[in-house]
Amino acid sequence: MGRGGEAHASGSPPEWDVIVVGAGVAGASLAYALGNEGRNVLLLERDLSEPVRIVGELLQPGGYLKLKELGLDHCVDDIDAQKVYGYAMYKDGGEALVGYPLEGRGDDVAGRSFHNGRFVMRLREAALGCEKVTVRQSTVKKLLNVNGQEWVDGEGVPIGGVAATENETEKKEYFAPLTVVCDGYFSSFRKKLTPAAAPVSPSTFVGIIIDGDPNELLPRPGHGHVVLGDPSPVLFYPISSKEVRCLVDIPAHVKMPSVASGAMAQYVLAKIVPQVPEKLRDPLVKAVEGGAFKSMMNKTMPAQPSRTPGAVLLGDAFNMRHPLTGGGMTVAFSDVVTMKSMLSPLPSFADAAAVGERVDAFYAHRTRPALTINTLANALYKVFCSSADSSMEEMRRACFEYLRLGGSMSAGPIALLGGLETNPLTLVAHFFSVALFGVGRLMVPLPTPARIWKGVNLLKGAVKIIVPIVSGEGLIRMFVPSKYREKARII
């Protein structure tokens, strides 16, 4: 697969400029990007067969623009990807239709939804087609230091490569001045490289496929559908010209129904079906009765940048947000574009100090899109979940009605959600505009003491949602311009 060559022993000049661990969305696109710049890239992946996942199926238009910037926009071709132009949201029988602000961006610019595995395979094909990239099916077992021994944090010896197993038993060692770990959601090396990282699971997605033409099944063809249900959101979106994905969110505080016993099917039929738009009820019932459920635990994890000479984390191994808004791949491609840009000035990666400086610059410049998307995803999930607190339920209603107003009220938030607007101040402004809009609704027709008190609680609730999320992502990283943080070497 790709260019041949044997691993070099420790102490001899490395054959590779960079080793990329993991050939998922982030790893495959990074290998392609660096290989196209003339870097010798070794891309290692545990399993090169087509992955099967129920997330990573929606690429926001901002993510498509980053994909295009990398020269990988052809990867959404020939996989029956569907264009997505916005969202239809439903609550208590009402509908809010919001479209991405795509005017002047070109006819090809839109969201894309697809089978995740097909898209990943196209990215891998692109990497395989790059002369400077070698792809191998190999399980990385250890990080090695520059002396060829297992790397141990705190010893002060830089990472110099990896130890891997091929064909189940054949042991290999590979060396490069830079190792980028992109081993995803279940990362084996996250704790070693960023000990402070602490993934949290707010919910689990349970997915099922509804067979049929999305243009006939969905109330609003060409849109993602979000039902603000009880206890949490339900999503519908096309993943091919013949299939619609349904994702039912099960919050962490709700006992997970058993699929094997039939409890999950009963939960969806009794609890979820009555809440979805009428047009989707019969198709969903049919899918539940004849289909197979797949589940995936959702995780959130703010990035915790750490200076590790010789290595850097990327993708879900580094940073995760709730998948409700479909922002993960947009962050991944944005990070790849930023990393490529930061490393481009270096003639080689042999100078560890120079590489470390450019990695610091990557940490500084990645934050604006990444932290905005992360904060929006995690905050929206909290707002969109039902609550026994009447003030928080009013916040959910206010968000829905705010989007129904149209104009800048919907264009601003949907631009943030689509990765087209990445200013965190815009996000915070819209978040509190929704809260104040909710307070204003409570004051009509008369601002009684009970209504005023509920309004105060709504504002307090909004603060309790947004402040911990922003603090977790990092106040300085979020609001101090990247040029100042880069100059001060603040990561």
pLDDT tens digits for range 436-485 = 999 999 998 889 999 999 999 999 999 999 999 999 999 999 899 899 89
- Range scoring the smallest mean pLDDT among 5-14, 254-263, 329-338: 5-14
Has residue 150 got a pLDDT over 90?
Answer: yes
d(CA 235, CA 224): 7
- pLDDT-derived band at 372, boundaries 50, 70, 90: very high
Has residue 256 got a pLDDT over 90?
Answer: yes
Widest pairwise Cα distance in the chain: 79
Q: Which residues contact 186 (CB under 8 A, 6 or more apart)?
A: none
* pLDDT for the residue 7: 44
Has residue 408 got a pLDDT over 90?
Answer: no
- pLDDT-derived band at 24, boundaries 50, 70, 90: very high
- pLDDT-derived band at 168, boundaries 50, 70, 90: confident
Could you tell me the pTM of the whole model?
A: 0.95
- pLDDT-derived band at 13, boundaries 50, 70, 90: low
d(CA 60, CA 43): 26
d(CA 217, CA 391): 35
High-pLDDT (> 90) share of the chain, %: 90
Has residue 396 got a pLDDT over 50?
Answer: yes
Give me the mean pLDDT over the 121-140 stretch.
97
Has residue 197 got a pLDDT over 50?
Answer: yes
* pLDDT for the residue 491: 84
Has residue 82 got a pLDDT over 90?
Answer: yes
Secondary-structure breakdown of the chain: helix, strand, coil percentages, each rounded to the nearest 5? 40, 20, 35
